[in-house]
Amino acid sequence: KQYDVILPAAGSGKRMGAGHNKLFLELREKPILIHTLEVFEQDSACKGIWLAVKPEEREYIQSLLVKYNIKKVKALPDGGAERQDSVYSCVKKVEDGEIVLVHDAARPFITIPVIHKLVEAAEEKGAVIAGVRTKDTMKKVENGVIVETVDRSNLWMIQTPQAFQFTILQEAENAAEKDQFLGTDEAMLVERLGQVVHIVESSYDNVKITTKEDLIFGEAILSQRIG
């Protein structure tokens, strides 16, 4: 089953503190952004990539696409102030999408089998997101004091990809824009329309490179996968 993917890549990487977009940092001498793009480039089910970028980084990113022979990028729309704005700018560009995934460019360790599980589930169910079960005991804290120990068996840590039948995503994104609603992921925009969102169990490997420690974790994952 074919799909398109939206990759928001227009962040600043403040928590990484590299002084520039963290996606240009390298793992095994290759930019994080390219690691992510290569997964989709190599997946024959992926038809097209819609990459949201900062206008001032567009030219540099285009040069990387040439250097690393990434051919599936259909457009590089301007990102916005929030991740949601960056995703929306791509949603407006996608042409007759059927199944569309949204995936953080900062999650380079996503694998094709997980992508395909999501695509198949989205085709059947409409809206489905990747996640993993929480490992630690979870407590709700207010003013430094535990107010509740939450039942961990129902708690999941949510990742991307998030996969949708495109009309569902489009409707949710347009409604959020109209209502000026800011969510923390795409599923939240779909949930608020009353649409059921399903989960697919993903992998703990699928980390979002956010802080310095994640780079160490990233190098370790690559060592384990490719030696």
Answer for the pair 99, 165: CB distance below 8 angstroms, yes or no: yes
Give me the least distance between CB of 146 and ligand CTP, in Å please.
28
Q: Among residues 10, 5, 8, which one has the least CA distance to residue 60?
A: 10
Residue 41 identity: E
Q: Among residues 38, 9, 13, 7, which one has the least CA distance to residue 215?
A: 13
Question: Which positions from 6 through 65 interact with Mg ion, judged by CB under 5 A?
Answer: 11
Give me the least distance between CB of 223 and ligand CTP, in Å please.
23
The residue among 76 and 122 lying less far from ligand CTP, judged by its C-beta, is: 76
Spell out, one character per residue from 72 to 111, where the chain touches ligand CTP: x when CB under 6 A holds, - when not.
-------xxxxx--x-----------------xxx-----
The residue among 83 and 126 lying less far from ligand CTP, judged by its C-beta, is: 83
Q: What is the Cα–Cα distance from 50 to 42, expressed in whole angstroms?
A: 16
Task: Using the rule CB under 5 A, give the single segment among 5-13, 44-52, 108-116, 167-175 that binds Mg ion.
Answer: 5-13
Does 12 bind ligand CTP (CB under 6 A)? Our answer is: yes
Does 210 bind ligand CTP (CB under 6 A)? Our answer is: yes
Name 102's bridge partners: 6, 162
The residue with its CB nearest to Mg ion is 11
**Given 1, 15, 67, 92, the residue binding ligand CTP (CB under 6 A):** 15
Does 11 bind ligand CTP (CB under 6 A)? Our answer is: yes
Give how far Cα 151 sits from Cα of 17, 90, 133, 196, 211, Å. 35, 37, 12, 22, 28
221: how many CB neighbours lie within 10 A of its CB?
18
Q: Among residues 53, 218, 62, 200, which one has the least CA distance to residue 131?
A: 200
Task: Using the rule CB under 5 A, give the single segment among 3-11, 53-61, 179-187, 202-210 that binds Mg ion.
Answer: 3-11
Token digits of residue 141:
């804290």
**Given 5, 6, 9, 49, the residue binding ligand CTP (CB under 6 A):** 9
Does 13 bind ligand CTP (CB under 6 A)? Our answer is: yes
The set of residues, in sequence order, having a beta carbon less than 8 Å from that of 90 and lying 6+ positions away, is 6, 7, 8, 50, 51, 52, 75, 77
Question: Which residues form the interface with ligand CTP (CB under 6 A)?
Answer: 8-15, 22-23, 52, 79-83, 86, 104-106, 208, 210
Question: Which residues form the interface with Mg ion (CB under 5 A)?
Answer: 11
